[in-house]
Structure 1
Amino acid sequence: MSAAPLFSAAEFRRRALSQTGGPVDLSWREHGDSLLNPDMWTSLEGLKLRDAAVLVPVVDDGETAKVIFTKRTATLRKHSGQIAFPGGAIDAEDRSPEMAALREAEEEIGLAPRFVETVARLPHYLAATGFRITPVLSVVRRGFDLKPNPAEVDSIFEVPLSFLMDPQNHTQDSTVWQGIERHFYRMPYEDWMIWGITAGIVRTLYERLYA
């Protein structure tokens, strides 16, 4: 049997299920922009953070998978106007991060859970805005009909997995936040600028599955 193409959903699933790099719940310091800001992120461990989950939706498109992103509305209280994965806080009735991520994806962009197969998690991402985020990796089959929730999502777009997993497209940048210089990744794609938390999660995905 021949191997699946490198950036297909099938190969993504295989790599997600066999990812390495230490226990997922303990290895957040070893990946993404946590490595760029070790002092800042370590200080977050002692804070009371709210648990959240995001869905990383990898669409099965044959040899070249696509990843779904959203642009958040400018009126949201936190992370307004930013590029994001569907997701949000884990509610008391959510039995797992997977359930929370699926619920939020349906609420935000109308992605019905029947089209989604959750396959693995990435390490937690500790956000300076007060959240401990669990990225839930998933494979999505075509047939869905997306509709943005206007209260939360301004637009929806897709980016080839091959573009996101190419480290040449990962640019480092910095800004001063609360008097501290913070380093982060930027990934410009066509008219979109993926940066901040979302780019940090994408970078972790690359490091654990494709580096």
Structure 2
Amino acid sequence: MNEPIRRKLEAAPVSSAEFFARSRARLSFDVPAGLIDPNIIPRTGDSGNDRMLEIVAREQPVRPAAVLIPVIDHPEPTVLLTQRSPHLSSHAGQISFPGGKIDATDASPLDAALREAEEEVGLSRDFVEPIGYLDLYGTAFGFRILPTVARVRPGFTLDINEGEVVDAFEVPLAFLMNPENHQIHNKEFRGMERSYYAMPYAERYIWGATAGILRVLYERIYLS
């Protein structure tokens, strides 16, 4: 239990330019039907999470959400993450991507992700180049999350909305995309053992949906 994954999956080193080129080639802005169709259960590739989603999907309505995966185009790229406020009703205190539920006024999931990033951390759209949607990801709270991968130009300033997040920080993309750092942890869910990904980084515990989405990013962009 709680041991790092040991797999024969090796990601060759990928430069910043190569990462963005692969992302543009492999991603699109086609919105998956499962974002709003309750009969479609998102498959995350994590068997423990998928079993949990089958239970949750029978009990809760579909709640579409969008997040931004902001990859900052430094010579050694980083991913901008947030720590959610401990007072929120869901995922309180957890490490997350900027994002939230899709409002009726949002033109698209992309628009929702960009709006949430501005509202939560003050990330201006002027610095963001959206690349495409990653795979749909479901959570135990009944959300269907559609992540947008984006290239972020350095030089921005942040303005943290402390009602939603208490911190924003960067983690090297190379660390997050290294399969040696992809651990599988376990916890009980309604009397059964479920597994989830975790990627501890320094004092930050990146886990659950955030780590699961990062794992999907690794599989889509780094594996042939």
Task: With the length of structure 2 as denominator, give the TM-score of the two structures.
Answer: 0.84
* Corresponding letter in the other structure for 1:182: R
Rounded to whole Å, the distance in 2 between the matches of 1:14 and 1:43 is 38
Displacement, 1:128? 1.2
Q: Which deviations, in whole Å up to 9, do the C-alpha atoms of 1:158-195 show, x marking residues without a partner?
A: 01110010000001010012323220011011111100
In the other structure, the counterpart of 1:203 is 215
Gaps of 5+ in 2: 1-12, 35-40
1:11 corresponds, among 5, 18, 40, to 18
Give runs of aligned pairs for residues 81-160 of structure 1, distance below 5 A. Answer: 81-160=93-172
> What residue number does 1:182 align with?
194
Corresponding residue SS for 2:43: helix
Uncovered stretches (5+) of structure 1, i.e. residues with no partner:
none
CA distance in 1, matches of 2:55, 2:64: 17
CA offset digits 1:134-170 (Å, max 9, x no partner):
0110000011101210101111110111001000000
Which residue among 42, 51, 56 is the counterpart of 2:64?
51
**2:147 alignment partner, SS class:** strand
Instruction: State the match for 1:68 in structure 2.
Output: 80
Q: Judge conservation of contact 1:7–1:161 (CA < 8 Å) in 2.
A: no
Shift of 1:104: 0.2
Match of 1:145, as an amino acid?
T
Q: 1:110 to 1:37 in 2, by over 3 A?
A: closer
> Compared with structure 1, are the counterparts of its residues 37 and 77 closer, same or farther at alpha carbon in structure 2 (3 Å cutoff)?
closer
Matched AA of 2:98: P
- From 53, 59, 67, the equivalent of 1:41 is 53
| Aligned mates of 2:49, 2:101 — CA distance in 1 | 24
Query: 2:63 corresponds to which letter in structure 1?
Result: R
Letter in 2 for 1:16: S
Aligned residue for 1:106, secondary structure, equals helix
Question: What's 1:29 paired with?
Answer: 43
TM-score w.r.t. length of structure 1: 0.89
The answer (yes or no) to whether the contact 2:98–2:113 under 8 Å persists in 1 is: yes
Measured after TM superposition, the shift of residue 17 of structure 1 is 2.0
CA contact (8 A) 2:44 2:137 kept: no
The aligned counterpart of 2:181 is 169
String of CA shifts for 1:60-114, please: whole Å, max 9, x gaps: 002x110000000111111000000000000011011100000000000000011
